[in-house]
Amino acid sequence: DQQVKQNSPSLSVQEGRISILNCDYTNSMFDYFLWYKKYPAEGPTFLISISSIKDKNEDGRFTVFLNKSAKHLSLHIVPSQPGDSAVYFCAASAWGSQGNLIFGKGTKLSVKP
Amino acid sequence: EAQVTQNPRYLITVTGKKLTVTCSQNMNHEYMSWYRQDPGLGLRQIYYSMNVEVTDKGDVPEGYKVSRKEKRNFPLILESPSPNQTSLYFCATLGEVGAFFGQGTRLTVV
């Protein structure tokens, strides 16, 4: 049973437009959520996070929104750039088991010039 | 510079021949994890460790062992590798804001 779901395996966006990557979770114990970006032949790199006490966290072009009642979070990238083309992983953890970070399957974002 | 270092980066081995993938971190983090990445399955956790001498199973622990004798090192051991363990492996540490990943080890078991 997948606890963290990224239902879109891929997303294609025009440069300059908004990219929206979605993530759903099923475990109500999750209270910390993270997004990672991964280029081919590299390890994932941390992008942005949000704790369950917030519903929005912004860092430059990246904003993560959390809807706890819907158990849904999303990553917005505005404006999208070709260098943003990568696989994006959503991850979640419960602070009581911080070592157990659960990842989604990833969404491959392609930003076309 | 904060680093998570895995070795080797690439390995081709034969079924049944024991191997160890090393992982070392210089951030003094307590938490360390091993993941495997497979097409269509994303990142799945194999084992994690919350501190020295404390290890726990992740989602896919079968066929793997780990040890945490010191804080900086968290080796992944495959006692008898099989072809279904062909995968891309990542070691990670957990800091206050998120996980730091190594560069990955691409393992092929023939």
Tokens describing residue A107: 């969404």
Mutate: best of A51, A105, A107, A108, partner B, most B CBs <10 A = A105
Closest residue, chain B, to A37 (C-alpha): B101
Asked if A106 is an interface residue toward chain B (Cβ–Cβ < 8 A), one would say yes
With a pLDDT cut of 70, the percent of chain B lying above it is 99
Q: Which of B27, B44, B56 is nearest to A99 (CA)?
A: B56
Q: What pLDDT is recorded for position A99? A: 60
The mean of the pLDDT values for chain B is: 93
What residues have CB less than 8 Å from B63, skipping those under 6 apart?
B78, B79, B80, B81, B82, B85
Q: What is the mean pLDDT of residues B59-74?
A: 96
> What integer pLDDT is reported at residue A16 of this predicted model?
97
Give residue B20's pLDDT: 98
Among positive and negative, which fits the CA dihedral B19, B64, A91, B42? positive
Q: Is there a contact between B103 and A102 if contact means CB atoms under 8 Å apart?
A: no
Q: For position A62, what pLDDT does the model report? A: 97
Mean pLDDT per 10-residue section of chain A, whose length is 113 residues: 90 97 94 92 90 94 97 97 96 72 92 95
For residue A72, what pLDDT is reported?
Answer: 97
Question: Exposed/middle/buried for A20, CB within 10 Å: 0-12, 13-18, 19+?
Answer: middle
Would you tell me how many other CB atoms lie within 10 Å of the CB of residue B12? 10
- Taking the C-alpha atoms of residue B65 and residue B62, their distance in angstroms, rounded to an integer, is 8
Q: B21-59 pLDDT, tens per residue?
A: 999 999 999 999 999 999 888 899 999 998 999 999 988
Pick B80 or B42 by higher pLDDT.
B80
Confidence of residue B71 (pLDDT cuts 50, 70, 90): very high
What pLDDT band is residue B68 in, cutting at 50, 70 and 90?
Answer: very high
Q: Determine the pLDDT at residue A40.
A: 87
- Identify the closest residue of chain A to B54 by CA–CA distance: A99
Size of interface A-B (CB pairs under 8 A): 66
What is each CA distance from B77 to B8, B20, B63, in whole angstroms?
Answer: 13, 5, 9
In the three-class reduction of DSSP (H, G, I as helix; E, B as strand; rest coil), residue B84 is classed as helix
